Each structure stands twice: as C-alpha cells, then as structure tokens.
Amino acid sequence: MPPITQDIADKRHIKREDYVSCTVAFIDCKKPGSDTKENYSIIGPGVTSSDDQIINLPEAHGFNIGAAAMPHGITNNLHIHFTAEVFIVQAGEWTFRWGSNGENEINGKKGDIVSVPTWIFRGFTNAGPDDGWLFTILGGDNTGGVIFHPEIIREAADYGLYISSDNRLIDTSRGDEVPPESGRIPPMPDEDVAALRDVSRSEMMSRIVASDARDFRPAFIDQVLPTGGAQIAPVIGLGMTQNRDHAAPISNAHEFSAEWLRIEPGQSVGPFMVDEKMVLMMHEGQLQLDYIDGGNASVQVNAWDTYSVPAGAMRTLKATGDTATEVLVVLNGDHRKRPVFATEVIAAAKEAGLGLDASGFVAKASLLPSYGRAS
C-alpha cells in the first residue's frame, strides 16, 4: 500500500472535541426523561434513524462505533438490535435493563464492558450523580435498524413521531408527512413480544467484563525487549494476542473482536501490521501512533479519542504519558487476527530467547524446531 501521508493520518483521528451529538436520533427523543440524551455516530455507516446525524468517519469497517451521553436520571428506552451491541462505560454509573418489559437489571461502572444478545429488548439509564458517557460497538456495516418497544412507538405518536419502513424518523413538528400504515414500522404485536427469548441473569452476567476482572498478560513477541512488554486483556472474540493462554470471556460471534491493550510509560508495540482495520478507543492515557511506511506520519491519540488504522499499515504504538495507557482495540471479523512484526523485532526477540510457533503464539525459541522442505 502507498505510504500514509500526515493528511490521511489526521483524517482518521476523531478527537473528543470532534464528536457531534444528535438529540433527535431515535423515536424516543421527545419522551420526558429521555429528551436530553445525546447520540453520537463516530465510525462506520451509522445506526441512527435521523437524517440530522453527523458521522465523523462513515467509512465501512465491518462494525459501527458510536456513543451515548446522558445526564443523571435520563433513560435510553427499550429497543432491539439485530446485530451485536456492546457498551463500554467511559464515565459514570449505569443501570442496564433487559427483558420484554425491562424487568431485569445490572449495573456498570467506569471501564466495564457489557455485550447484549441480539433480539431482546434492552435499555439503560444514567444512574450516577454526574453526566455519563457510553461508547458503543454495533456489529456489521448494516445493522438493520432498531425496533423500539411497542409502548415507546405508541407514545411517540402523541409527539408526532413515527418511524418509516426504511428506518427514517418522521417528525410532524417540522413538516414531515405521516406515512400510511403500510409505510411505517408498527408496534410489535404482543404475541411476538412474548415470544422473545428470556435471557437469565446468570447469562447476562457472563457477558460482562468488569474493569477489575480483566486478565492482563504479556501479549506479543516483543515482550522481552527493552521497550516491549505491553499487555492485553481479551474481552470479545479472537483478537490479536500472541499469548496462547489468553481466552476471551465473551466468545460468541460479534463480527468483530475487542481487547484491552495496556502500555506502560516507556513501552511500545511494534513495528507491526494486521490485515484488518483497527480502531483504537482510547480509555485512559496518551498514545503516539507512528506509521512505519516511509510517509513519516505520526498522531498523538488522547483519552476519549478514537482512531482508525488502515488495514495492512505498518505502525508502532507508544505510551507517551506519565501513566499507563489503556485502549480498547477493535478489529473487524470473528476470525483470529495475526499481527506481523518487523523482521528486526523478530530477530531481536529470537536473540532474547523467544519465537513464534506455527500457530503464531509466543514460545521459547529453543523449543521450536528448525527444518526445511525440499523444493
């Protein structure tokens, strides 16, 4: 691939101040207790029902990155998604609910991640005393839209809000015409609501990776090098770790993988590349991303920023702050990802006693066979 120029590198960096909220993204936007929530579409084609939603980087990634910001006590009402929906608590305390009438509840705090099964009603409330922020990941480029709870759709009509059959928000207060019944999404019939599967509390608890339960371990072939040693804590699916003892707590298909990467001050990862697009969702700290392709592009990514690295680009990641950098790394696809490190990294690791086995996992170099095959 051609070198990444500084201009291209900068355009893939979405800073916190670049996020643009939309207060009319969904059909519950005028419901009291929900009318001050803010929705963000950051990376991917987007999942909003509103034509007013601004997407920072609409390029297809195989998943969508968004966010919800809500003051204390504000609720995002019960709705269904057809693809995986994952919540990352960036700030605040949250109550997540699920079930046909939202009868089940769990709580989440900063650093917790919750993956909600498809085809069940879910909603959430900012239960903390301050403004809260959730980042979200939705599986797929086309997420299929949203089905809101029948009560929400019926109540929205009182405010002149409808959802067209092509998932567009109709707002009669701004002059939109109400589509005929055949052209809008009706409330889900009661029998279909009742037929939705029950998700037990124990199943949902197994789909939470709490901040204090993350399994950080050395992740890469460069772990014994002077500036190596970065750690990964898997969350969802088969990520890019080279530690064969790693196992993601959430293993069902999401169309993407997610894993925490922790880099201590002075540590770095790379140079390396992966075949997949990589999104960095910065939780804490500062990260310097340098492209090692002759273009000399470099980007400083701060807490709350998101950054999209093109597939196949050689890069290094370095913690530049005074505290550890923690970033959620999202890669498209359910398959295992194979980072390819620069030859000088592999050679230095071998000199220090480490190599990669045939599965791409770190092992003692002295235990790995060396053989050739006749041509």
Q: Evaluate whether 330 touches 63 at the Cβ level (below 8 Å).
A: yes
Q: What per-residue confidence (pLDDT) applies to 141?
A: 94
Mean pLDDT of 142-155: 88
Q: Evaluate whether 355 touches 365 at the Cβ level (below 8 Å).
A: yes
- For the chain, give the percent of residues with pLDDT over 70: 97
Asked whether residue 11 is domain-assigned, the answer is no
Range of lowest pLDDT (19-23, 71-75, 355-359): 19-23
Compute the distance between CA of residue 44 and CA of residue 259 in angstroms, rounded to an integer: 19
Compute the distance between CA of residue 49 and CA of residue 54 in angstroms, rounded to an integer: 12
Residue 182 sits in a domain whose CATH number is 2.60.120.10
Closest CA to 10 of 293, 317, 291, 321: 291
Is 375's pLDDT higher than 50? Answer: no
Q: What per-residue confidence (pLDDT) applies to 174?
A: 82
Structural domain boundaries enclosing 237: 214-367
Q: What per-residue confidence (pLDDT) applies to 374?
A: 45
Q: Name the region of 348 (left: φ>0; alpha: ψ -120 to 50; beta: rest).
A: alpha
Q: What per-residue confidence (pLDDT) applies to 372?
A: 53
Last residue of a domain, one of 159, 194, 209: 209
Question: Residue 127: which pLDDT band, with cuts at 50, 70 and 90?
Answer: very high
Q: What per-residue confidence (pLDDT) applies to 36?
A: 81
Is 336's pLDDT higher than 60? Answer: yes
Mean pLDDT of 248-259: 97
Last residue of a domain, one of 170, 188, 209: 209
Q: Do residue 104 and residue 63 come from a single domain?
A: yes
Range of lowest pLDDT (28-32, 203-207, 283-287): 28-32
The alpha carbons of the chain give a radius of gyration, in whole angstroms, of 22
Q: Do residue 199 and residue 63 come from a single domain?
A: yes
Domain count of the fold of the chain: 2
Q: Do residue 258 and residue 159 come from a single domain?
A: no
Asked whether residue 7 is domain-assigned, the answer is no
Asked whether residue 320 is domain-assigned, the answer is yes
Per DSSP, 192 falls in state H
Q: Do residue 285 and residue 329 come from a single domain?
A: yes
Q: How far is CA 129 from CA 2, 91, 113, 198, in A?
A: 49, 11, 20, 31
Q: Do residue 171 and residue 31 come from a single domain?
A: yes
Closest CA to 238 of 220, 221, 253, 223: 253
Q: What is the mean pLDDT of the chain?
A: 92
Q: Do residue 65 and residue 90 come from a single domain?
A: yes
β-pairing, 55-57 vs 38-43, is: parallel
Tokens of 225: 């090098």
Mean pLDDT of 181-209: 92
Asked whether residue 189 is domain-assigned, the answer is yes
Q: What per-residue confidence (pLDDT) applies to 33?
A: 74
Is 202's pLDDT higher than 60? Answer: yes
H-helix segments, 318-362 = 343-351
Q: Do residue 167 and residue 242 come from a single domain?
A: no
Per DSSP, 146 falls in state -
> Could you read off the pLDDT of 4-43 as tens digits, one per residue?
999 999 999 999 999 998 766 677 777 877 778 888 999 9
- The reported pTM is 0.93
DSSP states of 225-264: STT---EEEEEESS-S---TT---SB-S--SEEEEEEEE-
Mean pLDDT of 158-169: 80
Q: Do residue 219 and residue 205 come from a single domain?
A: no
